[in-house]
Chains A and B, each alone.
Chain A
Amino acid sequence: DSGVTQTPKHLITATGQRVTLRCSPRSGDLSVYWYQQSLDQGLQFLIQYYNGEERAKGNILERFSAQQFPDLHSELNLSSLELGDSALYFCASSGPLKGGAPYNEQFFGPGTRLTVL
């Protein structure tokens, strides 16, 4: 168990709909990252937040948005869903830890499997 939690585990929805994926980082971690894993694109970075602020953007579509709340949990909002958005969405976290783990090692949650029908 990495300590990163994601809900829901599975999500099945229809084209055109909007969904929200939720992530809680490991205790003490300030950075949250979102990644998408699809068969054709592999694992791709979407967006990063650090202590509530957007820090970096990757290949995130304009239909997608995210935010990090004061309690450091994050939500990824996907709207106007298309068949091609079906994928496994991972959240990862990193941050200063007690006891010697490096600052920038990322730990991944179990993922949310999104199926768009």
Chain B
Amino acid sequence: GIQVEQSPPDLILQEGANSTLRCNFSDSVNNLQWFHQNPWGQLINLFYIPSGTKQNGRLSATTVATERYSLLYISSSQTTDSGVYFCAVERDQAGTALIFGKGTTLSVSS
């Protein structure tokens, strides 16, 4: 089946720093989503981005579908950005299961 690899597995930052998280996938995908799992366990939608670039405040994401990777940029990080960031892809037709990577654990200290 399709493989989803995220890097780095762990990231420790000081408040105000910028970071780039990467997601590689092994096959063409129909959908790609980025999520933030906060310390309370909630999965929060960040981006639906099967291709192209999107921005939402301090976060932005780019997916290059032809090269099978996606990047999540976090600028001016804050302590509330801490948590686990997941990339998930949907391989088949619209409206099917998401396959998750193992995540990047981000810790932002003040």
Contacts and interface: CB of A to CB of B under 8 A. Distances in A.
A111 interface: yes
A24 interface: no
B68 interface: no
Q: Please classify the interface of chain A as helix (H, G, I), strand (E, B), loop, or mixed, using the class held by over half of its residues.
A: strand
Given A88-B41, A102-B48, A105-B33, A56 B94 contact: no
A64 interface: no
What band does the interface of chain B fall in when counting residues whose beta carbon is under 8 Å from A? Answer: 20 to 34
Interface residues of A, number: 29
B97 A48 contact: yes
A28 interface: no
Interface stretch (B17-25, B55-63, B70-78, B98-106): B98-106
B41 A113 contact: yes
Interface of B: 30-31, 33, 35, 41-45, 48, 86, 88, 90, 94-100, 102-103
Interface of A: 2, 31, 33, 35, 42-45, 48, 50, 55-56, 58, 88, 90, 92, 94-95, 101-108, 110-111, 113
12 contacts: A31-B95, A35-B98, A42-B103, A43-B100, A45-B97, A55-B95, A56-B97, A95-B95, A103-B95, A104-B90, A108-B45, A111-B41
